């Protein structure tokens, strides 16, 4: 999910009980023998698994334990490599271009590899029980040309976080429901002075597409409509102009929002009590509940342009499997283990994200603080990861969108250029 949120959201939910789940071997499982067994060659004795680093605290801990469990159960060596989100796109691309892809790759875009015929589909490596348990929205986002190639590892959904103390000092009684109310609230917080800002806006290269998407969706826009790219639609231009105006005209954001990343820029402004509002998700909530308890915060649905039903932006990342001679059986066993509840849900809880399975929704449903996310998760808006061009478009968005909100930036021109990139196939 770009460079993902970094701490345990579920500290209070999981506690000692969830941690006690550990990563013990799954004694049950559905068996991988009901998936298509068409792979050729001798069975692999080793697979390489490349995982994105979601957090310094939990990613390596989980995957090293998973590695030990997998190796004990299967007798297959798991060569684990963990790469930061800042570097994994380029390193993964280089691996593939050099003809040496990993067996399993954790990334947020898959369709270009599926288009090139490099990946296994779900019929080849997932059991029927696993396939039926995956949430429909993520099956759809992971499907290219009628086959599922992107297998979700975890998910998140976004909402508006606001600082209750700053709101009270500014005389704001309720979180905003419209863009006009949002601007008014941001101005009141900004007017408090002492370094406070109305809204922490991250449109830097880390995950500009996420920040922009949630505002776009709440203005009735989208990246594609009826199968055609609509990046430079009138509504989308209006949205990006609004985001520019927040800094250039209304002056309610931090300096240089077009260069500010979420993890090391915007989030610290909110956790330090300096920002009135920010778009956040589970890991930020986890930090606030465990590391920054002095910040009193609330969570609300996103404000919409005209007060219509709020829309939710969601993200899932993928564990895709590359076809190699003899590796199919080892990959089946990887997914069979990963999607067992005591593995996938422990991983998701440790990193502070949301489930990708129907059984996970049931397990997480008792946590009241997740209600705003879980209620909308099955119907979230996602970026078009099922289009092979998206991974290149996403990089172009990350690199260029922030320039639109600089004082001399031109939102329409930036979106026009991105539209041309999309129409050219990325």
Tell me which of 41-45, 162-166, 318-322, 415-419 is least confident. Answer: 41-45
Query: What per-residue confidence (pLDDT) applies to 11?
Result: 36
Rg for the chain, CA atoms, rounded: 22
Q: pLDDT tens across 152-176, in order?
A: 999 999 999 999 999 999 999 999 9
311, 302 contact by CB (below 8 A): yes
Q: DSSP for 307-324?
A: S-----BEEEEEEEEB--
Quick one: pLDDT band at residue 42, thresholds 50, 70, 90? Answer: low
**pLDDT tops 80 at residue 341:** yes
Where does 281-351 have alpha helices with state H?
A: 282-290, 328-338, 341-351
Using left for φ > 0, alpha for ψ between -120 and 50, and beta otherwise, residue 365 falls in alpha
Q: DSSP for 349-375?
A: HHHT-B-SBHHHHHHHTT-GGGHHHHT
DSSP letter at 84? E
**pLDDT tops 90 at residue 377:** no
Q: Which of 1, 22, 3 is nearest to 350 (CA)?
A: 22
In whole angstroms, give the CA distance from residue 357 to residue 347. 13
Mean pLDDT of 361-375: 85
Query: What per-residue confidence (pLDDT) applies to 334?
Result: 98
Name residues whose C-beta falls within 8 Å of residue 329's C-beta, 6 or more positions apart in sequence. 32, 37, 39, 43, 44
In whole angstroms, give the CA distance from residue 56 to residue 418. 34
**pLDDT tops 80 at residue 32:** no
Q: Which domains does the chain have, with CATH numbers?
A: 46-156+315-381 (3.40.190.10), 159-314+388-425 (3.40.190.10)
Q: pLDDT tens across 280-318, in order?
A: 998 899 899 999 999 999 999 899 999 998 888 998 999
pTM of the model: 0.77
Tell me which of 2-11, 172-181, 210-219 is least confident. Answer: 2-11
**pLDDT tops 60 at residue 22:** no
Mean pLDDT of 40-49: 82
Q: Which residue has the higher pLDDT, 206 or 1?
A: 206
Query: What per-residue confidence (pLDDT) applies to 1?
Result: 58
363, 141 contact by CB (below 8 A): no
Mean pLDDT of the chain: 89
Estimate to the nearest angstrom the gap between the alpha carbon of 343 and the chain centroid. 19
């Amino acid at each position: 999910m770009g460079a993902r949120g970094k701490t345990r959201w579920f500290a209070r939910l999981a506690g000692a009980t969830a941690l006690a789940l550990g990563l013990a071997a799954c004694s049950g499982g559905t068996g991988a023998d009901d998936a298509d067994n068409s792979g050729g060659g001798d069975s692999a004795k080793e697979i390489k698994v490349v995982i994105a680093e979601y957090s310094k605290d939990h990613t390596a801990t989980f995957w090293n334990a998973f590695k030990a469990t997998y190796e004990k159960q299967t007798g297959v060596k798991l060569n684990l490599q963990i790469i930061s989100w800042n570097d994994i796109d380029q390193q993964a691309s280089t691996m593939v271009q050099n003809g040496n892809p990993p067996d399993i790759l954790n990334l947020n875009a898959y369709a270009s590899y599926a288009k090139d015929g490099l990946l296994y589909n779900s019929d080849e490596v997932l059991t029927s029980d696993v396939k039926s348990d995956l949430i429909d929205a993520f099956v759809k986002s992971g499907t290219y040309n009628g086959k599922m190639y992107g297998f979700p590892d975890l998910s998140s959904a976004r909402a508006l976080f606001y600082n209750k103390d700053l709101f009270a000092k500014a005389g704001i009684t309720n979180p905003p429901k419209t863009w006009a109310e949002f601007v008014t609230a941001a101005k009141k917080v900004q007017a408090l002075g002492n370094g406070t800002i109305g809204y922490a806006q991250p449109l830097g290269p880390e995950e500009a597409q996420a920040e922009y998407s949630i505002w776009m969706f709440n203005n009735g826009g989208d990246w594609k409509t009826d199968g055609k790219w609509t990046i430079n639609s009138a509504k989308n231009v209006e949205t990006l102009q609004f985001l520019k105006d927040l800094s250039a005209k209304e002056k309610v954001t931090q300096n240089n929002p077009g260069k500010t990343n979420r993890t090391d820029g915007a989030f610290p402004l909110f956790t330090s009590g300096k920002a009135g509002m920010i778009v956040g998700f589970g890991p930020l909530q986890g930090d606030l509940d465990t590391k920054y308890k002095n910040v009193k915060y609330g969570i609300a649905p996103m404000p919409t342009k005209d007060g219509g039903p709020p829309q939710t932006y969601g993200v899932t990342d993928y564990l895709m499997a590359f076809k190699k001679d003899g590796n199919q059986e080892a990959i089946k066993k990887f997914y069979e283990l990963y999607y067992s509840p005591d593995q996938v849900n422990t991983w998701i809880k440790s990193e502070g994200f949301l489930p990708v399975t129907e059984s996970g929704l049931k397990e997480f449903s008792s946590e009241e603080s997740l209600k705003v996310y879980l209620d909308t998760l099955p119907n979230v808006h996602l970026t078009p990861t099922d289009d092979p061009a998206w991974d290149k478009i996403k990089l172009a968005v990350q690199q260029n969108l922030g320039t639109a909100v600089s004082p001399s930036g031109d939102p329409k021109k930036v979106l026009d250029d991105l539209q041309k990139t999309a129409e050219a196939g990325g």
